[in-house]
């Protein structure tokens, strides 16, 4: 079996890491892989030992030429299945390329934002099957008219091993400029509006009087960096909110947090939450998209309604004031990740879809 994977993201964020997990897992099972990605994309190096990597120009939704370039690649490598892993034109033009060449085509959908029914009816004709990374996303597609037999849920996974190692909390605080006696709330997400960074800034402001020793570390980069920094200083939190940027060594440090917060307005599943649970962290997140599949309310974390800053502040205060509760939620989260979100399970789920199309 040969699979052509198409990933249009240039950075090695959560979605690209999932693709690398799949490629590696398939290679271990004897499947031949080809990866098409943008020139200079970080995923190229991550997959080089498990796939033929083809770097090409990928200009996004407006780049109709991507369809022709991908079609030429399909004709050259003759894959059994074309697997489209991302948007940014890869979904649309990759689907057209598969249709031009008669190749079987699978789309992975990682976001839960709704699409008009007419668009779903037209666009999804390009794909033989759709894989969603959460049941929440699957339900969105079913509500928009996609036939149940054409969409499967295969949840994202996390390689838990790097997050199982204990973290030196003093070293963590020194690394990120946090006082040694501080309680630290972390957030791991791109700095974009739907992730909810502003809600966390507001919530920490509300906690300032009762919890003056609380600090926040934002892991991630994005277009909102300058705006968020300005807001932090307007709120008088400049010394207590730290912007750590994107960290390739996140696994080394994540377990040094006390709590992970992820108050997103929408989210497909939230790989950073799976990583946090593997690191045995309690989590506060929203009842949005696939997030309730990543965190079980009262068992591995606390769920709040999207945009409810008062509830976010209350949940954070509850955890910060109860270390035994934090330990209980964190340990339950780690056990759940090891049982239900393994890389092998994800690889087998994708492989089962390929086999269903081919045999």
pLDDT tens track for 328-358: 999 999 999 998 899 999 999 999 999 999 9
Whether the model clears a pTM of 0.85, i.e. scores above it, the answer is no
pLDDT at 121: 85
Rounded to 10 deg, the angle between the 197-207 and 309-320 helix axes is 60
Check whether residue 92 and residue 119 sit in a common domain: yes
Q: Are residues 194 and 61 in the same domain?
A: no
Domain of residue 331: give its range: 161-340
Same domain, yes or no: 16 and 149: yes
DSSP 300: T
CB–CB of 271/250 below 8 Å? no
Do residue 148 and residue 12 come from a single domain?
yes
pLDDT at 133 over 90: yes
3-class DSSP assignment, residue 310: helix
Contact 131, 108 (CB under 8 A): yes
Mean pLDDT, the chain, integer: 95
Q: Are residues 35 and 149 in the same domain?
A: yes
Whether 73 and 112 map to the same domain: the answer is yes
How many folded domains does the chain comprise? 2
| Torsion, Cα of 155, 259, 190, 66 (10° steps) | -10
- Beta pairing partners, 185: 216, 259
- 61 and 114 fall within a common domain: yes
- Considering only residues 15 and 254, tell me which one the structure prediction assigns the higher pLDDT: 254
Confidence of residue 18 (pLDDT cuts 50, 70, 90): very high
Both tokens of residue 153? 């849920």
Domain match, 226 and 143 both: no
Report how far residue 88's alpha carbon sits from residue 59's, in angstroms, rounded to the nearest whole number: 8
User: Are residues 176 and 66 part of one domain?
Assistant: no
């Amino acid at each position: 079996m040969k699979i052509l994977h198409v990933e249009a993201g240039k950075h090695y964020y959560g979605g690209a890491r999932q693709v690398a997990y799949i490629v590696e897992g398939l290679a271990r099972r004897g499947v031949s892989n080809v990866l098409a990605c943008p020139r200079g994309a970080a995923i190229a190096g991550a997959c080089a030992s498990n796939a033929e990597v083809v770097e090409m120009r990928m200009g996004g939704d407006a780049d109709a030429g991507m369809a022709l370039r991908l079609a030429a690649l399909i004709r050259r490598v003759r894959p059994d299945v074309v697997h489209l892993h991302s948007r940014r034109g890869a979904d649309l033009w990759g689907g057209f390329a598969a249709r031009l060449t008669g190749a079987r085509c699978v789309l992975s959908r990682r976001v839960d934002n709704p699409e008009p029914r007419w668009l779903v009816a037209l666009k999804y004709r390009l794909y033989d099957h759709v894989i969603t990374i959460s049941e929440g996303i699957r339900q969105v597609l079913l509500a928009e008219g996609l036939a149940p037999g054409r969409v499967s849920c295969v949840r994202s996974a996390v390689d838990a091993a790097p997050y199982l190692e204990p973290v030196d909390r003093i070293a963590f605080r020194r690394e990120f400029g946090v006082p040694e006696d501080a309680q630290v709330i972390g957030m791991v997400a791109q700095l974009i509006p739907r992730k909810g960074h502003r809600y966390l800034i507001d919530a920490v402001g509300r906690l300032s009087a009762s919890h003056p020793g609380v600090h926040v570390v934002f892991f991630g980069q994005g277009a909102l960096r300058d705006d968020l920094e300005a807001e932090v200083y307007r709120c008088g939190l400049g010394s207590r909110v730290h912007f750590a940027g994107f960290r390739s060594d996140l696994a080394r440090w994540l377990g040094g947090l006390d709590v992970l917060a992820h108050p997103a307005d929408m989210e497909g599943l939230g790989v950073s939450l799976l990583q946090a649970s593997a690191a045995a962290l309690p989590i506060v997140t929203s009842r949005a998209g696939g997030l309730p599949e990543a965190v079980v309310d009262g068992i591995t974390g606390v769920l709040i309604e999207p945009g409810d800053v008062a509830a976010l502040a209350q949940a954070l205060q509850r955890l910060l004031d109860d270390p035994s509760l934090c330990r209980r939620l964190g340990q339950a989260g780690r056990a759940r990740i090891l049982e239900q979100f393994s890389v092998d399970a994800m690889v087998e789920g994708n492989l089962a879809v390929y086999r269903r199309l081919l045999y």
